[in-house]
Amino acid sequence: MTTDTTTQRDRYAVIGNPIAHSKSPLIHARFAEQTGEPVEYGRLLAPVDQFVSHVRAFIAEGGRGMNVTVPFKLDAHAFATTLSPRAAAAGAVNTLRFEKDGGVYGDNTDGFGLVRDIEVNLGVSLKGARVLLLGAGGAARGVVLPMLERKPQSLTIVNRTASKAEALVAQFAGAASDAACRLTGGSAQAIETGAYDVIVNATASSLDASLPECDDGAFGAGTLAYDMMYGAQPTVFMQHASQLGARAADGLGMLVEQAAESFFVWRGVRPDGAPVLAALREMLRAPQSA
């Protein structure tokens, strides 16, 4: 009995600039294998001023959907004809689904990925928790609504430029009220006394090995200190948190879980992120060949 290898596969891709480093093709290949979905997934490098033309060409070639990474999440938000509530709240899109009628559905799965990694993979419930979010840029804005939906006791947003944090507090005041969550924010002075249950670093500080502004008293033995960045070694933020007695985690699980949610948006099938996360973790730990 021979296996039919000519099955028509639906085309997906991740678009960005740069893009060669992206682990999305590996992740989605594992998801396709796991679920049996006929998915083919690649990378698409686009010049920074040619997002729309590259997406339209991909659609014309039969593309069914895309993941969107830096620096195109705002372009994708503008390109979509319909937005999910979480994409509208985030003001950015990382997942596009191309409909048969020509419509373009824009979603943002980043916050879902963060919440799922914290609650499912790391086993920390956000319900009733005191949460501190460091940063008020695009990465932070994309996770506020999904975190509020988990009904934490309080959420404090801190940013070097206080007005940016205050703007997020104003934007999400209604959602916080619905969740019965106390939402506050500002500069580092807005950090409240006592250790937080969860601290999320949504700043880019780990890229240049610096620390975000944060009172050491915010970290305790019961704190999960989560950095959205990841690498082969713990970030400076993770090392600092560990020295203060907190449990530290990186953003690799968020990467996998946001991808799993994108896969679900496209295919209506939810893959299991855990084995893919374990495989990626092993690859990161493996010594790099010369």
11: amino acid identity, one letter: R
Residue 162 among known ligand-binding residues = yes
Q: Does the annotation count 100 as an active-site position? A: no
Kindly state the greatest CA–CA separation across the chain: 69
247 pairs with which residues across the strands? Answer: 224
Question: In whole angstroms, what is the distance from residue 257 CA to residue 113 CA?
Answer: 4
Cβ within 8 Å of residue 13, ≥6 positions away: 41, 42, 43, 44, 58, 63, 66, 67
How would you classify the pairing of strands 10-16 and 63-68?
A: parallel
The three-class DSSP label of residue 38 is coil
Q: Are 144 and 168 in contact (CB under 8 A)?
A: yes
Q: Is 251 annotated as a binding residue?
A: yes
Cβ atoms 261, 113 nearer than 8 A: yes
In contact, 110 and 90? CB cutoff 8 Å: yes
- The response to whether 164 counts as a known ligand-binding position is yes
3-state DSSP call for residue 15?
strand
**Burial tier of 85 (Cβ tally within 10 Å: 0-12, 13-18, 19+):** exposed
CA-to-CA separations, 144 to 26, 150, 218, 230, 282, in angstroms, rounded: 28, 10, 19, 20, 30
Is 123 annotated to bind a ligand? Reply is no
User: Is residue 160 marked as binding?
Assistant: yes
139 is in an annotated binding site: yes
Q: Give the position of tokens 């500069």.
A: 187
| 94 annotated ligand-binding residue | yes
Give the H or E element holding residue 133: strand 130-134
Instruction: Pick the catalytic residue from 73, 100, 127, 151.
Output: 73
**161 labeled part of a ligand binding site:** yes
Q: Is 159 annotated as a binding residue?
A: yes
> Binding site for shikimate, residues?
22-24, 69, 94, 110, 230, 258
> Binding site for NADP(+), residues?
135-139, 159-164, 228, 251
> Binding site, residues?
22-24, 69, 94, 110, 135-139, 159-164, 228, 230, 251, 258
Residues with catalytic function:
73
